Amino acid sequence: MKAEYINPFLEAGQMVLSMVCGVEPKFGKVYIRNSPFSADDLIIIIGITGKIKGQVHFLLSKENAKAIASFMMGGMEVKDLDEIAISAIGEIGNMIMGNTSTIYAQKGLKIDITPPTIVLGEKIEISNKAPAIAVPVNLDRFGSMDIVIAAVEQE
């Protein structure tokens, strides 16, 4: 996938994560994640159709997800990833992808996204047909997450 297609995800991630988490996200070195690959405890999955087709995965640990959900809910302690906390975490992925769609539209490229699906578990294995490009993100006091873009350009 072309770098010009990856940059809107990073731009949107920077904007949303700094606003929602109150930290300045730091992106690590982009790398290819071979399929299948293992994931952390929680995955936000959002499908993409249009100029590019595939999925975006936001991978983070349950502890980091609880800390972020707590911050999003005004500091209320989140002991378990209940329905409200999971909804809050899913909304981060939804906001990033919504902003990504807007950035694409401003460039004259149309993409549509699916509602977020949240997967919880241990030793989750993900298999994609499309090559997966991963970007580690340091979220300061909230730990880290990976943004994995598994998509291909459509003709």
pLDDT of the residue at 129: 80
38-63 pLDDT, tens digit per residue, is 776 899 999 999 989 999 999 999 99
Rounded (10°) CA dihedral 40, 46, 50, 52: -10
- For the question of whether the overall pTM of this predicted structure is more than 0.75, the answer is yes
Give the whole-angstrom CA distance, residue 44 versus residue 42.
7
76-103 pLDDT, tens digit per residue, is 889 999 999 999 999 999 999 999 999 9
Contacts of 85 (CB under 8 A, 6+ apart): 65, 66, 69, 73, 78
Give the whole-angstrom CA distance, residue 24 versus residue 22.
7
CA angle 112, 114, 117 (to 5 degrees): 155
